Structure 1
Amino acid sequence: MSGHSKWSTIKRKKGANDAKRGKIFTKLIREITIAAREGGGDPDGNPRLRLAIQNAKGQNLPKDNIDRAISKASGADAETYTELTYEGYAPAGVAVFLECATDNLNRTVSHVRSLFTKYGGSLGVNGSVDYMFDRKGMFLVPKKQGMDEDELTLELIDGGAEEVEFSEEYVEVICAMEDFGNMQAKLEALSLESESAELQRVPTTLVKLNDEDFAKVMKLIDAFEDDDDVQKVYHNIEISASQLETI
């Protein structure tokens, strides 16, 4: 559900269901495995692994699972994953961008193509929707009691933030992809630990849907999110408050 307005709210809603949480854990473990396999099992010397562990902890993935994933990735018989992307259209002209990690390319492309077809969409060629998204850094930070929002906003802007939004529980920070590392350092300097820190694809233009089309498109989005080979799903739907409640 990444890559559109109300990102943090939807992220929380999607993570609440037990079945969804199991899928989230699978994807987190896969990201840890890939990071450790590529850059080694020491998070101090592997920024991608450090970030993967941070996000896993933010989603309450047990420490034992994290340690096992790192240990397994370091073994000679560790699974090797290929990272790739797919692009296409859902019903009503909604752009869909998928980031995948797989140990079987034929299986993944077959699943992706069949899901697009099953739910009335179409798989496109590389570049068909990529231009509709900007790469941004997104941080979700739990709010602290007594936090001065104005002062914190100024500090975060100084660190490269383009947008800072406050809700009852969280501070959502958006920055340019190039400022991702600087923003991580700024949050650490402010003694703020993010629950999640990710590079997201944010749509440059949004599509409004009626409720019927929205329900159709969400069936496809949910199907992709349920696929173990799909790590992240991005789209350009502008979701209304009433539609958000149906998720």
Structure 2
Amino acid sequence: MVNKGEVVCGDVTSFWGNVTIHGEVKGDVMVIGGNVVIDGGVDGNVTLYGGNLSSSPGAHVNGDIHVCGGQRYKEDNLLLHGSYFGCPTGVVDMLGSDAGVQFRFWYIVTWVLMGMLLTTLLPEHVMMVRTTIKQKTRRSLALGLLSILLAPAIFAVLLALIIPIPLAILVAVGLFAAWALGLVATGWIIGHSIVQRILPQYDTRLVQIGVGMAILALFGSLPYIGWVVNIGVGILGVGAVFLSRFGTRFYGSPKQPLSW
């Protein structure tokens, strides 16, 4: 609740809660799983996922309005200095619009091709990382978060020493490889679950990888949510890669027989 006469200098974000603005918000408003009522003003964008937007006469928004999974109850007196966007209605809309379409299209294609390539060249490694993610989720998250937090300090020390600059580059390449391997393993888990339920007749390893990586790329390109998805999947994947020593061994015995 932003009371009348109150000014919030910054963004307002709410998960599974309603937001009512009687005063002013000088920033963006993002709400997931809740409704928004604007009775004052917003000097930024308003983004809703799974909620409804309503406004009172005289309210104003100096930015764009995005409403997906809900409704916008329009008021004639709402001053909107921007554009209104609803949910994507097709694949092209989901990938973006205008100049961003081609970039996001190739972004998704790159993720899918990377997943298929790694799974084809290193199937056992991806399988072991995938198993580690499923069976040691909490430990993978903890180790991944620790690795991400320590990485800047390690780079700073190595670069300050000047001599081991090649070692710093090697560490950076290793982190990128761990991120890619963990990302593909996570995409495989997602694709396996979806394909078995929706497309059992096409239940192959490459189809699972393609579907999973495409979904990760789509969610990763969403505003606001994309950062959460990319960071969360990255932390989880990196932790599982390190636990399994880059997919060369199991971290503990598998709880059940492995399946492709």
TM-score w.r.t. length of structure 1? 0.25
Q: Whose strand fraction is larger, Structure 1's or Structure 2's? A: 1
Structure (1 or 2) with the larger CA radius of gyration: 2
Between the two structures, name the one with larger relative contact order (CA 8 Å, sep ≥ 6): 1
TM-score w.r.t. length of structure 2? 0.24
